[in-house]
Each structure stands twice: as C-alpha cells, then as structure tokens.
Chain A
Amino acid sequence: MNENTFFDYLNLFWFTILPYVALFTFFIATIQRYRGEAFTYSSLSSQFLENKVHFWAMVPFHYGILTVLFGHLIGFLCPAELLAWNSEPIRLYIFEVTGFIAAIFTLVGLFNIIIRRTSNARIKMVTTTADWVVIAIIVFQVITGVYTAVFHSWGSSWFASSMAPYLWSIVQFSPEIAYVTPLPIMVKLHIISAFVIVTLFPFTRLVHVLVVPNPYLWRKPQVVRWYWNRKKIRTTSFKIDRK
C-alpha cells in the first residue's frame, strides 16, 4: 500500500464511513434508549446543588453553542442565501463576528463548567466519567472551531460552498469527499470530532437536547390524565366494609 492509497483509505474512513456509523448509531440508539430507558432522558441539572457558578457556566455555554449551531445550520440548510447575505463585506463581517462572540461565550461557559465540576464537592458527587468525556470532546470541538474561525476564515462563506455540498452528499447517500479532503487539518479535526459527538450523543447526557420541551409551547396549562372512560356511567354500588 503506498502512501496515497493509505491516505485515501483514511479519508474514506473519516469522511464517509464515520458519518454513516455516527448517523445510524444516533438514530437507532436514541430511539432504543427512549423506548427502553425513557427514565434516563434528563437534563441532569445540578443547579440545585450549586447555583452561583452555575449561572456563569450554563447561560454563556448554551447561548453560545446554540448560536454557533444555528449558524452552522443556516450554512447547511440555505447556503445560497447565506452567500447572498455575505456578498456585502460588512454583512459578512457581522455574521462572522457574531459567530465568533458566540464561540468565545461558549468557551467562557466551558471554562466555568470545568471549574465548577472540579472545585465543588457536591458537584463532584454527580459528575461521572461520561460527563468528562462529553466535556472533553466539546472543548476539543470548540477549540478547533475557534482556531478555524480565526486562522481559516471566512468559514461562513466557504462552509456554504464546500461543507454544505459535502454534508448534503452524505444525506443523499452519495458522499463526495473531494470537498473536504483538501481542507486544513484543524478543519478536518473539527469535522471528525463533530461526527464523534453525534456517535456519542445517544450514550451520554447529550440526549437532553432531543427532549427540549417544545410541546409545552402549545399545550393547555393544566394536564389531566384520565384512567377511566369518562363517558361511561358507573352504577355498581360498592359498599365500604371495614372491620
């Protein structure tokens, strides 16, 4: 095997096999876990045990990472519109700087998460190995992302023209890895660790993302569960006979 074919196989593994392994694991395992162990779907909040650093950890982290994810989602779902938006340099800069602020925000949140989980005795009691794995992979993901944003700009534009077609080719079951193989190593690591996160997703606390309470937004305030058929008239008399 010469060097080239070796790298071909590596690319094939990271950018075609891994995505499908990730996606299928994700779908099957989340469904199975919901089916069999719905009880384990929880945000596993620890705000109750410590509520001061919690604010500075959770709020920046979630607002940051959701903004960043939303940016990626725009690039994936409407690349043409994103390119049109970016055609004016000032708008491109606004988009990029917004994303970058969100990334810094995420880092601040992650920093506080780590501080909180290592320094508070109560929080240590509810921190598992799986939590550290999740934190580690997300830290890696955010750092490679920040590096990309600074040293391989402007991601919002090249994501729309290079990553979006690649991701769509994955979704359409005809992967075109030529889009991603020439990317710099940090970007590649960012992509790979994203798929690793998707793979780990069903086995960690990350599943809480799937149960965000959207039905709350349109249900009636009060929930009543009936175990009887309310329309049936019950006439059998039942005498309480206690000695």
Chain B
Amino acid sequence: MDVRSQISMVFHLDKCIGCHTCSIACKNIWTDRKGTEYMWWNNVETKPGTGYPTKWEDQEKYKGGWEVKNGNLKLKSTGKARIIPNIFHNPHQPSLDDYYEPWTYKYDELFTAPEGNDQPTAKPISMITGEPMDIKAGPNWDDDLSGSPIYAENDPNFDNLSEEQKAQMFAIERLVFFYFPRICNHCLNPACVASCPSGALHKRGEDGIVLVDQERCRGWRSCIPACPYKKTYYNWQTGKSEKCILCFPRIESGQAPACFHSCVGRIRYLGVLLYDADMIDEIAKLPDNELVEAQRRMILDPNDPEVIRAARENGVHDSVIESAQKSPIYKFVKEWGIALPPHIEYRTLPMLFYVPPMLPVMTSMDGDAKKNMIEGMFPDFDKARAPMEFLANLFSAGNTGVLKYTLKKQMAIRQYRRAVTVGDITMEAAKKMLLEADCSVEAAEEIYKLTTLCTFDDRFVIPPAHREEAIEMMKDPLEYKQQVGFGLREEPMRGA
C-alpha cells in the first residue's frame, strides 16, 4: 500500500447558477498576461453544449486521455515511439480557432469619433494581432443554450443516444440545461504528465497538484492533445504550456483557491483524500462501467488505523491525515457516494467530482411530479427531461446505475426535508424513500447541512502545506552560510 494524499474537489452542480464569477476570479489572478488571453483555467459550460474548446469531449478528434491496448494503458495521442516522428508538427493539437480568438474593443473611438449622424461604436480588435476582427466564437459562446441548433445538438455526449431521445430533448417545452464549471482535475493518472517529453509536467507528491515547470517546458506541446479535458493550454507568447495550478500559493497559506473562494453559489468543496497509489495502473485498465466504483476503492478510509500507519510511514504529515478525516470530499465521494468524476472513461482518474444535477431530472414529461412526491415514490427516471444516458455519458462512463443512485439519494433527502419543513409528505413516506435510496436519517441531515448551510470551514478543509519543511529536500540549509542571500546564486568570490 503506497498511501498518498491528494487535494480533491467536489462541485455541486445543482447549486451552480452559471455566473462565471469563478472564471473571472481566475482570469484576473492568473491569465491576464500576453499569450494567455484565450486561456480559461476555470470555465463554466452549458450542458448540453460543445464547450471550450469546441467539442473537447470528442476524443476521435482530440485524441485525449488513455486507452487500453493489449492489456496496457496507452496514451491516445502520443507515446515513446510516436513522439519522435510527430514532434515537428503535432498531429492532434487544436489551434486557436478551436478555442476562440481573444478580442477587446477600441474603446477610445467612443470618445474620439467625429461628430456624425450615428452613435460611435467601439470596434472589436484581436488581442493577438491588434487588427479589427469579426468575432466568431468565445469562451462561453453557447452559454444558456444560445445557438443550440449548432452547439447543443453537437454535444458529443449525445453520440450514443437514439434520435428519438435527442429530438425529445430539444423539443421547446422540454428544453433543459445545467451548468458545468470545469478546472484542471489534478488527476491521479494524468495524461498530460505522461505525455510531457521534457518532464516539465509533474504531480506534486505531497498534495497531488499537477504543475508545469516553466523552466523545463520546451514547448513540444504534447500535453495539449494528451489532456482529455483540454485543461493544459499553450501560451503562444512564451512558447510554454500553462495550466491551472489550483492556486497553490493560496493553498499553501491556508486559503481556498480563487475560484472556490469567489463562488457565489457555494458549490465548491475542497479537501484531502488518501489513496493507494499502487492501485492506479490496475484500476485505470478496468472496463468503462466499473471505473467509478473502482476509483472509489482506491480512496482509503482516513480513520482506518492500518491506513493511518501506512500513511505515516509514507511521510504523510499527521496534520494532513487529520485534514483527511475531516474532508468533505471523502464524505461526498466515498461515504455518501453522490459525487461522480467527469468522463472517467478517459482513464486519467480525475480528482474533481461532481454532484450530478437533479434539477433537469425532477419534472417528468407529464408534469405530474408532485403526485409522485406525495405518494413518496421516485419518479420514473427514464422519462426525465434529460435522458439518463446523457448524464451517464458525462459523469459515469455510461453506467446509469451509479448515476441513478446519486439522483435517488438527493431526491429522497429533498422529500425528507419537505416532510420536516413543509409537512405535506408524511415522515413515514420520506423515511421509506431514504431507505430505498440507501441513506440514513443522520446522513440525510448531514448532506442537507453540508449542501445548504455550509460555512467556509465546512467547505474547505485545506491541509497545511508545511513548506517550512520543504527545504530539507533541496539543500542543506547551512550551505547558504557565507552566501549573500536572496538573488545571488554564486558564492561571493574575490575578484580576479
């Protein structure tokens, strides 16, 4: 057992209102530099929709993630043998046009335009060339189902749905959507790291944050096609790749990352998970529909004395184990089983989990949901406005079983709370539903509390980073003796 700690995340999708505050917080801190204008380390997509970059989930085109070939895990985009012939022109790298050309406006023309019959306008200009341009795409171009005949209907998650199901979903009176905020998943089996020819991409051993070492990145751009979530980006100005750093400078000083901190819907949770790194290879090779449960098996119980012993032997700090025991992520993912990883069939073992949205599921076509509620019965999920297969393609590699489990449990808790506060459902019916949804009354209360009344400290249990101890790995502190200090790296020498 190789126990490691991983900072993991849960996004509760029912609470997301699609305000993009997270994206703006991130952009203002990290990607407002030249070369990064088009990057959104955090972006919020509307589902169904094609997202950013366009159709990023279509791995036939983008070749992201892993596949199992002859019993071995192989990257779809590259590999030791394929890197050499493909290094000059990466055959799977998307271009700027598949994201969008970043632009700004010539605001000064609003003031300097000569007097005339028309209102002056601020012309859009490209942030790359500075030339006037036609805006053809943006980072959330299909926000709130805009342009849905083009964008929403091309959502790759519809690929294995019947025409009937698709048509049903786009009937105007049944239109349904939810928001899908995305950041780097800081995967356990990151494809970007495995593809990096320079060894610049790496996973931090202590907290599992995946980073690009800017001093070692040489711009071979393998990571961009390799990441199936398209969360590594190429900085066209510096010629290096960049990606979400999970605001590690904030985490190391005990603060939540900017997108978490700024989230107005309080949808985001952050905490430590302990996992068994020895199991990664074996688990990542399992068939698609077993992956969600297998990934949960890797996540270890932080209260198990055997796990604690193995963790300490592995150098995991006691304070980190302590955080793991309080981790909200552990509860959502493992104890309650209501958070699911996005597209785990890419086999990178993402460590960002989503509580699937119930809202589009609630009201079935005949609009008779209330009747179901009163009778203490679950609605027929197969008649839900969003087909189960669509959600399962997104959150459980097509396994509708684990998906329905999360929806049932959430629904039962709502009915239970309705019984408590409104009282038009009998407590007996509500408890029967809870039982059927595999949820105790205590758990229901706890989920209710963590979902609705959570404070900062409930949502973000950030392990101490202990950077003060990091120096031990780098240099003997006494080596700095007699050196000048910050900035001067050579020992002072008597001039020649």
In the complex, is A directly touching B at CB under 8 Å? yes
- The chain A residues found within 8 Å of chain B, CB to CB, are 38-39, 41-51, 54-55, 58-59, 61-63, 121-122, 124-126, 208, 211-213, 215-217, 219, 221-240, 242
Contacting residues, chain A, for B313 (C-beta < 8 A) = 233
Cα-based distance from A222 to B220 in the complex (angstroms): 17
From B197, B240, B315, B317, A42 is in contact (CB under 8 Å) with: B240
Docked complex: B83-97 residues within 8 A CB-CB of A: 83, 87-90, 93, 95-96
Interface residues of chain A: helix, strand, loop or mixed (majority): loop
- The chain B residues found within 8 Å of chain A, CB to CB, are 80, 83, 87-90, 93, 95-96, 128-129, 131, 189-190, 193-194, 196-199, 201-206, 214-221, 224, 234, 236-240, 254, 312-319, 322-323, 456-457, 461-462, 464, 466-467, 469-470, 472-474
From A45, A55, A242, B254 is in contact (CB under 8 Å) with: A242
Q: Are A213 and B236 in contact (CB under 8 A)?
A: no
Interface residues of chain B: helix, strand, loop or mixed (majority): loop
Cα-based distance from A46 to B254 in the complex (angstroms): 38
Q: Are A213 and B83 in contact (CB under 8 A)?
A: yes
Contacting residues, chain B, for A48 (C-beta < 8 A) = 93, 95-96, 221, 224, 234, 236
Given A45-B221, A49-B236, do A39 and B215 touch, yes or no (CB 8 Å)? Answer: yes
Cα-based distance from A48 to B201 in the complex (angstroms): 19
Q: Are A234 and B323 in contact (CB under 8 A)?
A: no
Query: How near does chain A come to B278, taking the closest CB pair, in angstroms?
Result: 13
From A212, A228, A232, A242, B457 is in contact (CB under 8 Å) with: A242
From A59, A224, A235, A242, B88 is in contact (CB under 8 Å) with: A59
Cα-based distance from A126 to B196 in the complex (angstroms): 23
Q: Are A228 and B205 in contact (CB under 8 A)?
A: yes
Q: Are A215 and B199 in contact (CB under 8 A)?
A: yes
Contacting residues, chain A, for B198 (C-beta < 8 A) = 211, 213, 216
Given A124-B129, A242-B254, do A42 and B95 touch, yes or no (CB 8 Å)? Answer: no
Q: Are A231 and B129 in contact (CB under 8 A)?
A: no
Contacting residues, chain A, for B466 (C-beta < 8 A) = 228, 234, 238
Contacting residues, chain A, for B462 (C-beta < 8 A) = 240
Q: Are A224 and B220 in contact (CB under 8 A)?
A: no
From B93, B193, B218, B464, A211 is in contact (CB under 8 Å) with: B218
From A41, A47, A124, A227, B470 is in contact (CB under 8 Å) with: A227
10 contacts between A and B (CB under 8 A): A38-B215, A39-B214, A51-B95, A125-B128, A126-B237, A219-B199, A223-B203, A224-B203, A227-B474, A232-B472
Cα-based distance from A211 to B213 in the complex (angstroms): 15
Q: Are B80 and A126 in contact (CB under 8 A)?
A: no
Q: Are A47 and B319 in contact (CB under 8 A)?
A: no
The number of inter-chain residue pairs (CB within 8 angstroms) is 171
Cα-based distance from A216 to B189 in the complex (angstroms): 17
Contacting residues, chain A, for B322 (C-beta < 8 A) = 237-238
From B128, B189, B469, A49 is in contact (CB under 8 Å) with: B128
Cα-based distance from A233 to B321 in the complex (angstroms): 12
Contacting residues, chain A, for B131 (C-beta < 8 A) = 121
Contacting residues, chain A, for B323 (C-beta < 8 A) = 240
Query: How near does chain A come to B221, taking the closest CB pair, in angstroms?
Result: 6
Given A222-B193, A234-B312, do A54 and B234 touch, yes or no (CB 8 Å)? Answer: no
Contacting residues, chain A, for B315 (C-beta < 8 A) = 228-234
Contacting residues, chain B, for A242 (C-beta < 8 A) = 254, 456-457
Residue of B206, B215, B219, B316 with most partner-chain A CB within 10 A: B219
Q: Are B196 and A223 in contact (CB under 8 A)?
A: yes
Cα-based distance from A55 to B90 in the complex (angstroms): 9
Q: Are B472 and A236 in contact (CB under 8 A)?
A: no
Query: How near does chain A come to B419, taking the closest CB pair, in angstroms?
Result: 35
Query: How near does chain B come to A15, taking the closest CB pair, in angstroms?
Result: 33
Residue of B nearest to A231 (CB): B315
Contacting residues, chain B, for A225 (C-beta < 8 A) = 202-205
Cα-based distance from A179 to B281 in the complex (angstroms): 59
Contacting residues, chain A, for B472 (C-beta < 8 A) = 228-229, 232
Contacting residues, chain A, for B218 (C-beta < 8 A) = 41-43, 208, 211, 213
Q: Are B201 and A47 in contact (CB under 8 A)?
A: no
Q: Are B201 and A223 in contact (CB under 8 A)?
A: yes
Q: Are A213 and B205 in contact (CB under 8 A)?
A: no
Cα-based distance from A122 to B126 in the complex (angstroms): 10
Contacting residues, chain A, for B220 (C-beta < 8 A) = 43, 45, 213
Residue of B nearest to A109 (CB): B88
Cα-based distance from A224 to B234 in the complex (angstroms): 22
Given A208-B218, A227-B470, do A47 and B318 touch, yes or no (CB 8 Å)? Answer: no
Cα-based distance from A235 to B203 in the complex (angstroms): 24
Given A45-B239, A216-B80, A229-B472, do A238 and B319 touch, yes or no (CB 8 Å)? Answer: yes
Cα-based distance from A236 to B128 in the complex (angstroms): 51
